[in-house]
Amino acid sequence: MRRAFVFAVMLGVCPLSLPAAEPPEMQVILLGTGYPRPDPEHAGPATAVLVGEKLFVVDAGRGVVLRLAALDLPPSCGVVGSRCLAAVFLTHLHSDHTAGLPDLFTTSWIFGRAAPLEFYGPAGTREMAAALEKYFAEDIRIRRDLTEMLPAAGATLNVHQVVQGVMYEDEAVRVTAFAVDHRPVEPAFGYRFDFFAPSSADESYPQDSSSALPFRQGTASAVPNDDKERRAFRSGAQTPRFLRGDPELGQPPSPARRIVKTVVISGDTRPSDNLIKFARGADVLIHEAYLPEHFDDVDSPAVAARLKRYHTSADEVGQVAAAAGVKLLVLTHVIPGDPESEKIFLERARKHFKGEIVVGKDLMRF
């Protein structure tokens, strides 16, 4: 029963219609399916993961707060989910993925987030966090010390530099970062969300598949995270190593836990074997995609060639989904995002992937 419930895929573009009854325990919501070019129908890249009353946001592109405002989140979550916002995860620091972050940081504080914003991202994230606090310094002083007297902690960020491995885990969800290939932007990450059954769950649920993930237990480092390591990585002198567990988080999760649903978010990447490993058997793969002819039309040959080298075409994304054996492929970061192109994306991806495919639109839920 429960399994059937969580595997039920809810598709639809209506932004304001969560079922009136009991809210689902877990939902993944496309907040923004666009890319750098402004488009009122497609906010910048951002995805919400709602688990009970915890809200996780992966990337925070242009318009993320307005899209959050369109969600019928539990009332206890406050405005734009401010009191439920458990963490923000960045895949990489391209501006289309971070342009909405200042708004998310400050608006969630103004409307109820009393604790620091838990902020996960690659190298450079710490500097971005410091810059945000500086950018809003005068507003923070006013709202904290003069007018609303808001809690000081909410005006800060708690930075977690991401490496490949388990970055977050609680009783309901585990978040695993994995390296993708968006070079020369590196490191860049995708995220895998494994949702757990309650401990009292039916024994027939599938076993936690974490042992199938390509971790090497006990390795102390991971993908390159500073300039020196990045140079070594580029030159081939260093192969990325895999980490099972954030050293700050301690022990890896108990193997006895049961996963009832897995959702994988690609971030920006060219076709990545490492993504295929980490997405193996996922229920939902949310993956970027583009049409090559669009770059040929709107960009110079040199720029078009560069863009094609670090993104994934409609054909390639079908191949990736087939290789990973996922159940549902959702395209996001769709370039271009016009309705006429939707059919082309589907036709090309379907040549390779026989499962269900959806071209993502803002506020679709899975």
Degrees, nearest 5: CA angle 318-182-129: 125
- Compute the least distance from the CB of residue 167 to Zn ion, in Å: 20
Q: Which of residues 292-351 bind Zn ion (CB under 5 A)?
A: none
Is there binding between residue 181 and Zn ion (CB under 5 A)?
Answer: no
Q: Of 42 and 257, which CB lies nearer to Zn ion in the complex structure? A: 42
Degrees, nearest 5: CA angle 177-69-137: 75
DSSP annotation of 208 reads P
Grouping H, G, I as helix, E, B as strand and the rest as coil, residue 96 is helix
Burial class (CB in 10 A: 0-12, 13-18, 19+), 79: middle
- Compute the least distance from the CB of residue 347 to Zn ion, in Å: 24
Distance in angstroms (rounded) separating the CA atoms of residues 288 and 271 = 10
In this structure, the chain runs to a length of 366
Q: Of 252 and 336, which CB lies nearer to Zn ion in the complex structure? A: 336
* Stretch of residues binding Zn ion (CB under 5 A), selected from 87-95, 154-162, 271-279, 336-344: 87-95
Nearest of 331, 363, 327 to residue 8 by alpha carbon? 327
* Stretch of residues binding Zn ion (CB under 5 A), selected from 65-73, 91-99, 130-138, 155-163: 91-99
Per-residue mark of binding to Zn ion, 223-262 (x: CB under 5 A): ----------------------------------------
Distance in angstroms (rounded) separating the CA atoms of residues 76 and 41 = 29
Is there binding between residue 268 and Zn ion (CB under 5 A)?
Answer: yes
Residue-wise over 272-298: b if at least 16 C-beta within 10 A, else e? Answer: bebbbbbbbebbbbbbbbbbbebbeee
Among 42, 83, 94, 160, binds Zn ion (CB under 5 A): 94
Is there binding between residue 160 and Zn ion (CB under 5 A)?
Answer: no
Binding footprint of Zn ion, residue count (CB under 5 A): 3
Is there binding between residue 96 and Zn ion (CB under 5 A)?
Answer: yes
Is there binding between residue 39 and Zn ion (CB under 5 A)?
Answer: no
Q: Of 242 and 290, which CB lies nearer to Zn ion in the complex structure? A: 290
Which residues are near Zn ion by CB under 5 A?
A: 94, 96, 268
